Chains A and B, each alone.
Chain A
Amino acid sequence: MSRCLISNNIRKLRFYTHEMTQQELADRTGVTRQTIIAIENGKYSPTLDLAFRIARVFNTQLEEVFSYMPEQNPDKE
């Protein structure tokens, strides 16, 4: 299994959006709750389309929701 390099703030954003439930976010973005859970846990990187839909639900920019973390090369450290 490849490691997911995209981290997200969905949990935090849900909390600040009146404790929005995962099911509510799933309904508003047109996916299953299982997919939202997988994204939150970093087990699945959403498509650009879904990423924008999630950002739109929180009324924020994409970068506020997702960030790319390039894999650190231990040899360089």
Chain B
Amino acid sequence: MKENTYSREKQILVSLITSVVILGCYALYVYHRYISVNPGIINDLKFWGKAFLVLIPLSILAQIIIHIVFAIINKIVTNEDIPVLSDERDKLIELKTIRLSHWIFIGGFLLAMGSQAAGMEPWIMFLTLILSGFTATIVSEIARIIFYRKGF
């Protein structure tokens, strides 16, 4: 039982850590490269547009590369394969976590729109959007681990 459970959980943990590291590194890079040099840029819509356009493909690419590297290292160290089969239970867990992340992101989206309706600066909206997307990812990955461990 355990090796299969652990493989799934390890996969989810890698995904979780990757998400944190990518966003953290990217936020630091953007801050040092642009915001610390020109603080006024945070209200520039073009800046946020570019930031989003780079962040999304970058995180997808990084996730793919890190998962491949993890699968290779895991095979070398533990001699066990990462489960590729996704059965009805996996799909049900995936659906449940997608629904959870969807609601969290919708909440963040409403907050972001609310900030604009309340007359706040544009950077608050963009930051709220990024943070809600990030929170949705983290919560859904944690929920996946809980569903795998405790059932539902």
Contacts and interface: CB of A to CB of B under 8 A. Distances in A.
Interface residues of A, number: 20
B89 A38 contact: yes
- Interface of chain B, main secondary structure: helix
B87 A35 contact: yes
B40 interface: no
B127 to A, nearest CB: 34
A60 interface: no
Contacts of A46: 88
A33 B152 CA distance: 17
Interface in B135-152: 148, 150-152
Contacts of A43: 150-152
B151 A1 contact: yes
A34 B85 CA distance: 11
A31 B87 contact: yes
A38 B87 contact: no
A42 B151 CA distance: 9
Interface string A24-61: 00000011111101100111101101100000000000
Nearest to A29: B87
Q: Which of A32, A38, A49, A50: most chain B CB closer than 10 A?
A: A32
Contacts of B8: 34
A1 B148 CA distance: 12
A50 B148 contact: no
B116 interface: no
A13 interface: no
13 contacts: A1-B152, A30-B87, A31-B85, A31-B88, A32-B85, A33-B1, A34-B1, A34-B4, A34-B89, A34-B148, A37-B1, A37-B5, A41-B151
A35 B1 contact: no
A44 B87 contact: no
Contacts of B90: 32, 35
